Structure 1
C-alpha cells in the first residue's frame, strides 16, 4: 500500500518546492491528488480508507502554511468521508472542487473586466490565474489595454505573467519590483491575486504586494484583488492568525564565501491592510473588503 501514497508525496513535494504555484493551482492539485489516491485504495474497508485519506490530507496541508486554498481544498474533499459511501463521496467532491475552481476563474474574469476601461494601463504583481483572467477578459472584450508586470523577486513569477499576457497579444511591460513608484503615474488600476483573505478584509499575497498597495493609495490609483471564495480564511473570524511562510535564503542569493555570516530573510508573503483595497473580485461579484466577513459566514458557515 506504500506505493499508492506516492501520488500524495509527489504532489506534496511539488507544492512545497513551488513546482506547483498559485493558490488556485495548489488547491486543484491537492484535490486531484486526493481523488487519485482514493481511487487507488478503493479495496480498503471504509474505516481504513478514512484513516488513510485523513493522513494524506494532513501531509498535503503541511506543504505550504500560508495559501489557504490548500487546507480549504483538502477540507472540502475530505468532507466526502461523511457520506454514506465515503469512497464515492471523496472522488465526487474532488471533481466538484476542481470544476468549481475553474469556473470561479472564468466568473472572476467577467466581473473584474467590468472595472477595466478602454485605454487603461494595468499593474499586476506575481502570477495569479484570477488576475490574469480579469486582464484577458478585458482584452477579449475589445478594450485597448496595456499591462505592467513586476518581476516579483526572488522567484520571478512575474516573468511567467508577462510572457502569458504577451503571448495572448496584450501590450506588456516587465519592470523590477522597486520601480513601481516610478511608473505609478502611468498606471490606471492595479489588479493582483490573493493567497488568502482575512475576516477583516486584509489581503495576504506575494511579498511586495503591500508596498504596491501603499503606492497606489498615495497616488489615488484603484487597487483591486481577485480572490476565489475558497481563499477566504474561515479561522481568522475567531482570531486565528495566518502564518507567513519564510522560505530558504538560497532563493535570494546563492551562498558563496563572500556572503558568509550575512543574515538573509525571505518571507514569501505580506499582509495588505483592508483600507488600501478598493474591492475584492470574487466569483459571486465585487465586494468591499468589509464584506469578507459575510463571505466567510455564508460559504463556510462559521456562525451557524
Structure 2
C-alpha cells in the first residue's frame, strides 16, 4: 500500500511543483524513506512489494529524468538479496539510512560542482544559461561570491518559463541579469563568453538531454565559438545507454503551449526536452571533476557499481 504522503510527492513531481532533476532525485529518495518509516508491512516480502510499488509510481512521473531512477537504484541496491539475511526492522533502517545518504551526497555534489566550475569563470564574463539549473546557478553564484565581475543572460524557457525562477534567484543574489525570450539566444550570443546549462540525463556517448531549446543554444554557441559547459551530478548519467537504449523524451500536456479549443484543427506538440550532441559540448562539470563528453562512458561504468541493465530491484 502506497502511503498518501508518497502519492502527494509523486503528484507534485508530475505537476512540476517539484522540479529540477536533482530535487526530483532527492524527492524520490525521500519517498522511499517515508515508505520505510510508515510501512505497515508484516514481513520482508510485503515490504519489498511496497518499495516496488512506490518505485514504479515515482518512476512514472518524469521518465526523462534519469536522476530519479538512479536515486531509487541507490537506495534499493541489493535490497532483495539482503532481505534473505536481514529481518524487517533492519531492512527498513537500511532503506532509511541509504535515502538519507543519497540526499546528503546530492546536496554536497551541488556545492562541489559550484566550487569546481567557478574556476572556469573569468572576471568580466557574460554567461548565458537556460531554464533553471541549481548546478549551473551554483557555478555562477560561487564565481560571483569569489568577487568575479560577471553578468548573466537567462533564457525564459517556454512554455513553463522556468527561466523566470533563475532570473529571480540571480536577482536576489545581486548578480546582474538579463532575461530574454528563447528565440533571442542567437541575437545575444555575440555578447556571451560562456554558456552553462544543467542536465536531466547524460548518455554514454556524451550527449546531453536537457530542457527543450538547449540544443539550439548549443549549436549557436558552437557556431559562435563560445564555450559550452554542462553542470551535472554523476547520478544524472544514464546507465541503460551503455547498451544502446535511447533516452525517453517526455511530451507534456499541449495546454501548456496553447488552448487546443482555440486551434481545433491544429496539432499542438510539447516536448519537454531535447538532445544536445556531444560535439557541441566542450566540458561537463561533475562533483568528481571536469570531464570531456567522451569520458561519460567511464563515469557510467564506475558510478553506483551497476551494470548497464541494472533494475530498481
Q: TM-score band, normalised by the shorter chain?
A: over 0.9
Tell me how far apart the structure 2 counterparts of residues 303 and 8 of structure 1 sit (CA, whole Å): 28
Contact 1:80–1:93 (8 Å) recurs in 2: no
Whether the 8 Å CA contact 2:131–2:161 is kept in 1: the answer is yes
Q: Which residue of 2 aligns with 1:77?
A: 75
Unaligned runs of 5+ in 1: none
**1:300 CA displacement:** 3.7
Q: Does 1:246 align with 2:251?
A: yes
Alignment of 1:209-248 (within 5 A): 209-248=214-253
Offset from partner CA, 1:167-197 (integer Å, 9 cap, x none): 1010011000000010001100000000000
C-alpha distance in structure 2 between counterparts of 1:136 and 1:44, whole Å: 48
TM-score by length of 1: 0.96
1:124 corresponds to 2:122: no
Q: CA deviation at 1:261?
A: 1.1
Secondary structure in structure 1 of the residue aligned to 2:221: helix
Contact 2:131 2:156 in 1 (8 A): yes
Q: Let me know the Cα RMSD of the aligned residues.
A: 1.3
Does residue 1:279 correspond to 2:277, yes or no? no
Give the TM-score normalised by structure 2.
Answer: 0.93
CA distance in 1: counterparts of 2:298 and 2:305, whole angstroms:
10
CA distance in 2, matches of 1:53, 1:68: 18
Decide which of 144, 157, 162 is 2:162's aligned counterpart. 157
User: Deviation per CA, 1:26-45, whole angstroms, max 9, x where unpaired?
Assistant: 00011111101210016532
CA contact (8 A) 1:80 1:89 kept: no
Aligned length: 301
| 1:145 is aligned to 2:143 | no
Does residue 53 of the first structure (1) align with residue 57 of the second (2)? no
Rounded Cα–Cα distance in structure 2 between residues aligned with 1:17 and 1:234: 26
2:189 counterpart of 1:184:
yes
Corresponding residue for residue 8 of structure 1: 6
Displacement of 1:107 after TM fit?
0.2
Cα distance in structure 2, aligned partners of 1:277 and 1:141: 26
Residues 3-59 of structure 1: CA deviation (Å, up to 9, x unaligned): x61122111111111111100000001111110121001653212111111111111
Select 1:114's aligned residue among 115, 119, 123.
119
